[in-house]
Amino acid sequence: MLFPKKTKFKKLQKGKIPNKIISKKEYISYGSFAYKAINFGLLNSNQIELIKRLVTKRIKKEGKVWLRIFPHLPKTKKPIEIRMGKGKGNVSEWLAKIPQGKILFEIDGISKKLAKEIYNEIRKKIPIKIILVCF
């Protein structure tokens, strides 16, 4: 799973989920195909790892994958049947805020047909809507 090795503070406040379009446009930097978020949302480290494994399994040794997101935000949860108060709970998972228009990851060295197949598999597995962007 993905999570930061070291953080300044162990537990952070959630803040706002970005629900506006990014002012600067995100462009493909590394690969020839990219998967871009249409709407805003949160992805946890398990979902990001699932995407990464699914893509690497499908492209085998043909192409290369670049992840453009990382879960930096800790999510805390208190144990079941604990009374109110007594401070904040322990970190249960790590989240990545995904603003609208953010490129999630890029792929290079594969055909467009395979990129579309991977897109169809991924969009069923994650809670945000994505599109396939070609270079």
User: Can you give the CATH number for the domain in which 100 is found?
Assistant: 3.90.1170.10
Domain of 38? 33-77+90-134
pTM: 0.85
3-state secondary structure of 132: strand
27 lies in a domain? no
Q: Within a domain: residue 50?
A: yes
Residue 94 within a domain? yes
In a domain, 58, yes or no: yes
Total domains in the chain come to: 1
Per-residue pLDDT band for 26 (boundaries 50, 70, 90) equals confident
85: which residues sit within 8 A by CB, 6+ positions away? none
pLDDT of 35-92, one tens digit each?
999 888 899 999 999 999 999 999 988 899 999 999 999 999 999 998 999 899 999 9
Q: Is residue 14 part of a domain?
A: no
Residue 107 is assigned to a structural domain of this protein: yes
Q: Please state at what angle helix 45-59 crosses helix 112-125, rounded to 10 degrees.
A: 150
